[in-house]
A = this chain, B = another copy of it.
Amino acid sequence: MKEGNQRIVSAFAPAGIGNVSAGFDCLGLALERPGDIVSIGNGSRPGAELVEIQGDAGELPRETENNIAGRVVQNMLTALRRKDALAIRLKKGMPMKSGLGSSAASAVAAALAANAFLGDPFSKEALLPFALEGERLACGSPHYDNVAASLFGGIVLIRPDDPCEIISLSYPKALYFAILHPDVQIATRDARAVLPDRVSRDVAVMQSSHLAAFIHALREDDWELIGRSMVDFIAEPVRKALLPYFDRIKNASLAAGACGFGISGSGPAMFALCRGRSAAESTASAMGAECSARDLRYETFVSRINPKGAEIIEEG
């Protein structure tokens, strides 16, 4: 391991889509972009110290112990019984409270960067609990779907047993996503409060069978079935009321050629699953036009799936 005051290790962790349609609380995927970057360098005193945050418009906690990245790195040092002096710099490259896994990206980037800086004491798999625990700080409960997708990339199915298992799924090469992030505020805690504690047995069966059909269709490149199986019977029916013009935006995306449509995580971002870049770009335009027509501010972008997940982008 190289030592020296100038050494810096930076990691990028991507945004993602959680709760993918029928995959409420158990299916997530990583997007190519945007994402967060965490850099770790030598600090001035033993332990983790958050020294800089960029791109958050001053909204994130500055105290190391109250910040996701700070907490993740400190917990790793504690687990290793090490007292290295680590200076943490966080560069937010994505909107917060968007439903695109912003806190997961910060947690994962921090874990990966710190691990590399410390000489890789942990495997990538062993970083998952640290990132989850950090994310719990921000959201009240950890989101396995966002954290696992950001860390490992691809589309991941969570089998939430103890210990939880992360299963990487196959998907068509032509899979693209059109993302709409409307200028609407929804706190993750509020989005969970509207969820039903119990569902009918029929709803449970519908959700199960649609998720299974979706996974099968992704594996078999069956685009028609991908579309038909993208139905969320648990969260979307109650959460869409929190999203202005949800039905209009959904209908516009499907009319523009999207295979399916859903809320990303707990919103307010929404996603359309599309076959090919051209369809995704048309869909993004159509979703944006619905917002423009109603004076709702928004951002749209198009992304493929990030197959690798978080990675070290700079070391030296």
Chain A interfacial positions (CB closer than 8 Å to B)? 22-27, 157-161, 165, 167, 169, 195-201, 203-216, 219, 225, 228-229, 234
Contact = CB atoms under 8 A, between A and B. Distances in A.
A167 B225 contact: yes
Contacts of A228: 159, 161, 165
9 contacts: A26-B205, A157-B216, A160-B205, A165-B225, A167-B213, A195-B201, A197-B200, A208-B208, A211-B211
A67 B315 CA distance: 76
Contact of A204 (B159, B169, B204, B212): B204
B209 A207 contact: no
Count of identical protomers in the assembly: 2
A194 to B, nearest CB: 12
A169 to B, nearest CB: 6
Contacts of A169: 216
Contacts of A167: 213, 216, 225
Nearest to A203: B204
B24 A205 contact: yes
A271 B132 CA distance: 37
A213 B24 contact: no
B196 A201 contact: yes
A162 to B, nearest CB: 11
Contacts of A201: 195-199, 234
Contact of A198 (B199, B212, B214, B234): B199
B204 A234 contact: yes
A210 B159 contact: yes
A229 B26 CA distance: 14
Nearest to A197: B201
Contacts of A215: 212, 215-216
Nearest to A22: B208
Contact of A209 (B157, B196, B209, B216): B157
Contacts of A207: 204, 208
Contact of A26 (B165, B195, B212): B212
A169 B215 CA distance: 11
A204 to B, nearest CB: 4
A158 B208 CA distance: 10
Contacts of A211: 208-209, 211-212
A145 to B, nearest CB: 10
